[in-house]
Amino acid sequence: MAPSCCQVRVGPDLNGAAEVGSDRWDGRAMPASQVDEFQVIGKRVAKLDAPAKVTGRTVYADDLSMAGLLEGAILRSPHAHARIRSIDVSAAEQLPGVRAVIYAGNVTQRPFGYSHDNLPLKRDKVRFIGDEVAAVAAIDEETAKAALSMIKVDYEVLPAVFDPFEALEETAPVIHDERPDIVGNLSMRWDYDAGDVDEAATRAAVVVEGDYSSPQAAPVPIETHVIVASFDPDGHLTVWSPVHMVFMYRKELADCLGLDWRHITVIQPSVGGSFGGKIDIDSHDFITVLLARHSGRPVRLALSREEEFTGTRTRQPIHFHLRTGADAEGNLLFRDAEVVSDNGAYNAWGSHAMLVAMNTVTSMYRVPNSRVRCSVAYTNKNYGGSVRGFGNPQATFAVEQQMEELADALGMDPMDLRLRNANQSGDVTPQGLEITSCGLSDCLRIVREQSGWDQRRGTMRGRHRGLGAAAFIHVGGGARIYASDGCGAVVKVDDSGEVTLITGASELGQGSETVLAMIVAEEMGIPIDSVRVVNSNTDVKPWDVGVHASRTTFVAGNAARMAAAAARDKLLETASELLETPAGELRVRDGVVEVAADPSRRIELGRVARRRLLREGGGVVMATAFYDPPTHNQDKDYRGNISAAYGFGAHVAEVEVDPGTGMVRLINLWTAHDVGRAINPMSCEGQIEGGAAMGIGLALSEELVIFDGEIVAPNLHDYGMPTAVDVPRTVVNLVETVDPLGPFGAKGVGEAALIPVPAAVANAVADATGVRPREYPMRPWKVKAWIDAGESSHASRRAAEPADKGGGDNG
């Protein structure tokens, strides 16, 4: 079979993988799309920052040095819920070497966070173990830590609640008693209706129903949060922070601390990984600035690994009670989700994970009727952030397991069920998502073929082996969560002829610098190594929302392309004069302008730039662009096209389960991703392999184990990130649908690959054992218990609130 609507690049590992399936995927012989027409796009370009990183020369925030730099440290709450009666810092202040001791009693601060429910230094109450109470700046780390131990805090310990279902009960201790706008611990509701689920249920031939839960997980960047803050003598503040959303960061710093945002510069040093954990501002950022202000000296705050686990934002557990119904032919009729999101002590962006999770419930496959009733609960735990995938792995775990349950109930093959209901180009989903390019069906066909699905699924239970699939939908063309979803770009060509792209977008290690440089190089007809990317300083770079929602290639890429095209046109205008040929008859290749009909008439681009600049009345070549995708903020009913493009993909996982120990071995993972176009196939493969590894961790091992509100083992060992041994060969197929709006047709791929992994692995475990995982990570003792019980471990959880048939308030 051949893909119907798109070109396919098949992963380099196909030869090995194809041995598993009975038939080779014949798509591997297909040519990659139109690559030959490009000079740079579609080439396997090594990341521009790789040599510095692998040789240890990259400068991270922790490597910065400056005269008088102090070390900061934070005193954190040992209690999950307590009232602060008093704080005495006098002894700490007396310790030699201490330059500042701050707490709510001696700083100016205003609430921050999505619901303005958080303070950098807690004043009246602490709400989780790790909550910030006081901080010290001292001449070195040891002095700072010694001073922390001398701060006396008198707490009145309060009853705490850790389970979101208990938190939503009337008798639960109220965590934010200062918020009159909410009832109890119900911090937000996300309620959505399309069509008539109850009516559709009466027509369903088959309905499946079940509970699906996920744990508290962490983004675990290898670089912990490190922030440096320094005030100039004239009061101008410079902050070096690995944050993604630098412009919002500046605004929020000003708002919370009463600073003038015109006098704040934010510089993003090289970032040692984030995965969403460093997306926006948090208490430690404000605290660093407050310490610098109180000490009158520059201050560095570097979180320890333990603090990175206990004191920063996490991936929130989300509990789904889901029903899916279909008619006898396998046409999906409805989805009905009761959801409880366990968002922890404060509302950061994690309170909005349902924004993305909801897309999957309403719009993964064609579902005419859907209903979501979601409660976001405060609990006395670390609070939810926006970790890679942002609610989608949790939702996909429920939705995609239910597709296989439904297929089994219908007596259909799950792949046939998926293909029958697959989203197609041109669809507008009931939620208003406008599906433009869509390679979902091709992705499904590819992994079906490569995994030998038709021959092998359901046949290997005797060997405790199984195959499971899962697909996903995710925003791939920005995500309008703010008034603008835009990004600015400046392209300039100075007398040297070197091209500089100044972009609003940030590099986190994901490869955006390289991809943006490739886009500029392609558009201008120059080699990749002629492009320099500047992206780290708010004084210099144009506005951007920031890195999130897999939006950088799409949004920043379009902005860069527009600016590059405008700069090229200026150069061609001058070249036209020099070559005495109309600009339309010129072309640029490898940095040389030539007459298309007579390439011997040519002039080097740098010379063109100089000839334009170095003359009376001359000018520098500089072009600006701002790209804001044609999308809409969702309305109060959560309808609207939030993204200009949607990414799709499908995975098949093969596992072998040891029924004796419950240990699961992942044998194979086949992936196919609709990336629109692979600007840099190597980079796409890296994102997919890395995302898959992160998904494997979620599926099998990663969890912050919490007893009585305390993360019991905040270290890299116990957290359970997978090692190379746990990650099988990942077969990557890039499906190119050439998106109409993406730069050269590209769509976002940054978050994609982890999303379907827990669901695919769970489906594979179900195929191998006959029992259905209801939660992840599928650590061995859970799997063993499920197998021994001989049936699905129906999690005892039900959404605390019965489905509210009325409309919802949107919190």
Partner 1 sequence: MAEVFAAGSIEEVVAFLAGHRGVSLPIAGGTDVMVDKRNGRVHPEWLVDLTSLEALAGIEFREGGKVVRIGSMTRIRSLELDPVLGRRAAALVEAARLLGSVQIRTMATVGGNLCHGTPSAEMPPPLLVHDADCEVAGPSGRRVMPLVDLFAGPGRTVLEPDELLVALELRLPDSGVGSCYLRQTVRWSMDLAGVGVAAAVEVDGSTVTKARVALGAVAPVPLLVAEAANALVGTELDAGAAAEAGRRAAAACSPITDARGTESYRRQVVAVLVERAARIAWLRATGSWPAGVPAPANGVLPSEVR
What does the binding site for partner 1 look like in residue numbers (CB under 8 A)? 460, 463-465, 656, 658, 660-663, 665, 667, 700-701, 705, 707, 712-713, 717-718, 720, 722-726, 779-781, 784-785, 788
Q: Please report how close the Cβ of residue 166 comes to partner 1 at its closest, in angstroms.
A: 21
Cβ atoms 363, 722 nearer than 8 A: no
Given a contact cutoff of 8 angstroms between Cβ atoms, the answer to whether 77 and 133 are in contact is: yes
In whole angstroms, how close is the CB of 379 to partner 1 at the nearest point? 19
Nearer to partner 1, 604 or 726 (CB): 726
Compute the least distance from the CB of residue 698 to partner 1, in Å.
Answer: 13
Closer Cβ to partner 1, 713 or 795, answer by number: 713
Interatomic CA distance for residues 699 and 779, integer angstroms: 9
Please, what is the minimum distance in Å from the beta carbon of residue 460 to partner 1? 8
Q: Kindly give the pairing relationship between strand 487-493 and strand 621-627.
A: antiparallel
Q: How far apart are CA 303 and CA 293, in angstroms?
A: 20
Q: Which is nearer to partner 1, 662 or 748 (CB)?
A: 662
Shortest CB 781 distance to partner 1, Å? 4
CB of 308 to partner 1, least distance (A): 15
Structure letter (DSSP) for residue 89: -
Indicate the residue among 166 and 726 with the shorter CB distance to partner 1. Answer: 726
For residue 764, give the 3-state DSSP assignment: helix
Q: What are phi and psi of 38, to 5 degrees?
A: -105, 150
Residues β-bridged to residue 266: 239
Q: Which is nearer to partner 1, 439 or 662 (CB)?
A: 662
Residue 709: how many other CB atoms lie within 10 Å: 20
| First-to-final CA distance of the chain | 48
Question: Position 778: which residue type?
Answer: M
Assigned token pair, 431: 């939620």
Supply 153's token pair. 């805090």
The amino acid at residue 340 is V
Tokens of 485: 């979803």
Which residue, among 2, 60, 59, has the nearest Cα to 31 in the 3D structure? 2
Contact 672, 678 (CB under 8 A): no
Residue (184 or 662) nearer to partner 1, CB: 662
Sheet holding 186-194, edge to edge: 186-194, 369-377, 332-342, 318-326, 206-213
Q: Please report how close the Cβ of residue 774 comes to partner 1 at its closest, in angstroms.
A: 17
**Residue of 478, 432, 482 whose CA lies nearest to 644:** 478
Least distance between partner 1 and beta carbon 450 (Å): 18
Closer residue to partner 1, CB minimum distance, 108 or 661: 661
Write down the least CB distance from residue 720 to partner 1, Å.
5
Q: How far is the CB of 302 from partner 1 (least distance, A)?
A: 15
The smaller minimum CB distance to partner 1, of residues 433 and 696, is found at 696
Looking at the Cβ atoms of 722 and 748, the one nearer to partner 1 is: 722
Return the number of other C-beta atoms located less than 10 Å from residue 23's C-beta: 12
> Measured from the CB atom, is 739 or 767 closer to partner 1?
767
Q: What is the DSSP string of 692-725?
A: HHHHHHHHHT----EETTEES--SHHHHT---GG
